[in-house]
Amino acid sequence: MTTLLKLATAAALALGAMASTLAADARLLDKGQTLKIVVPFAAGGGVDNAARLLGEQLRKAHGVTVIVENKAGASGSIGGKAVQTAAADGTTLLFSAATHVLAKQVLGSPPYDPQADFVPVARVGEAPLLLAVSPQADQKKLSDVLAAVRAQPDKWTAGIPAAGAPSHLATLLLARQANLKLTYVPYKGTQPALTDLAGGHIQMLMDSMVSMLPLAKAGKVRPIAITSKKRSALAPDIATVDESGLAGFTYASWYGVWAPKGTPDERVKALNQAINAAVGELGKSGAFAALGIEPVSETPDQFRRFIANDVAQSAELLKNAGFKPE
């Protein structure tokens, strides 16, 4: 009986230790730690807004202190470098857009390797782009726009708000799939490109739907189609590229969270679970929908595979277009 009691006691202690370990692994942070989310772009933009929603949801759900810090500049690499060199303990994370993974393809001297120097934690959402034309253009449907570009390619210029950004890649993909010959005009950001589109200085622009909708609704640019598989609740009257005649065409910008290389697997797993739960709540509340973001829930491994595939496809588009890193 004594032996049985000893065995039972040992088993209970072992189970308790195991439970404590699992509980520690599931914790978002250790007591007294602060979670810092670095956004490599200026405050007030789409990436920043999404990061702040996520940070606030994590704070509410876990009772932890969350700081969102903006470190803009150098195509997002300043903020990226700050996270890469941070302690690999899961307390400093990078919240960025799809552009982060293309540093080697876009920058002449990238300060890091986005795939080798970071640990993918979670992909949190994706958002469609909007194709719009100048209000001076006669075309109101995608089929008419494509026909006009093919007929007079020298009269059609497309704005590129940022090299290697989703707007750039989606425009290249559209040109390839629709067999278009476009002249590309580079810009430093969406706003100057939108201003020139409204003024008729360029004829076409594809960029974040949310950033372009205000001018579209005001009649200052003409919306043609969105790049998602289905119409957006924010603009249900705007058709998709697919239903407008270019079958199978879809493209989305996306957002994700990364940790420094070397962050322990159990910490990454805990962060992934917490972020996925937070994203689910932001989807239910409609907070992400207001930004035009469709929630995504993936494991770290799924996110890693997604990145590899995205980089391969994007690199091919840039190479075939003759793009050279700057």
Token digits for 106? Answer: 């876009």
Cβ 29 vs Cβ 35: under 8 Å? yes
Q: CA–CA separation, 154 vs 70, rounded Å?
A: 41
Contacts of 286 (CB under 8 A, 6+ apart): none
Residue 27 binned pLDDT confidence (cut-offs 50, 70, 90): low
pLDDT (mean) for 22-42: 76
pLDDT value of residue 15: 40
Using pLDDT thresholds of 50, 70 and 90, give the confidence band for residue 30.
confident
d(CA 252, CA 226): 10
Domain coordinates of the chain in residue numbers? Answer: 34-127+254-320, 129-226
Q: Per-residue pLDDT averaged across 260-272, rounded?
A: 97
Q: Which of the four pLDDT bands, split at 50, 70 and 90, describes residue 1?
A: very low
- Region of 77 please: left (phi>0), alpha (psi -120 to 50) or beta: alpha
Q: Are 167 and 187 in contact (CB under 8 A)?
A: no
* Collapsed DSSP state (helix, strand, coil) of residue 209: helix
Query: What is the DSSP-derived secondary structure letter of residue 222?
Result: E
The 8-class DSSP code of residue 100 comes to: G
Look at residues 207, 217, 211 and name the one whose alpha carbon lies nearest to residue 130: 207
**What phi and psi, each to the nearest 5 degrees, are found at residue 311?**
-65, -45
pLDDT per position as a tens digit, 130-143: 999 999 999 999 99
Nearest-5° Cα angle at 285, 280 to 287: 90
pLDDT at 178 exceeding the cut of 90: yes
Neighbouring C-beta atoms of residue 109, cutoff 10 Å: 8
Q: Between residues 86 and 26, which one has the greater pLDDT?
A: 86
Rounded mean pLDDT of 264-292? 97
Cβ atoms of 70 and 286 closer than 8 Å: no
Least confident of 6-20, 100-114, 154-168, 187-201: 6-20
Task: Give 183 or 6, the one with higher predicted confidence.
Answer: 183
Q: What is the pLDDT of residue 214?
A: 94
Per CATH, 34-127+254-320 and 129-226 having the same topology is answered yes
User: What architecture does CATH give domain 129-226?
Assistant: 3-Layer(aba) Sandwich (3.40)
CATH topology of domain 34-127+254-320: D-Maltodextrin-Binding Protein; domain 2 (3.40.190)
Which alpha helices (H) appear in the chain, and where do they start and end? 2-26, 46-62, 77-84, 103-106, 142-151, 166-178, 190-198, 209-217, 265-285, 300-320
| Lowest-pLDDT choice from 2-16, 104-118, 193-207 | 2-16
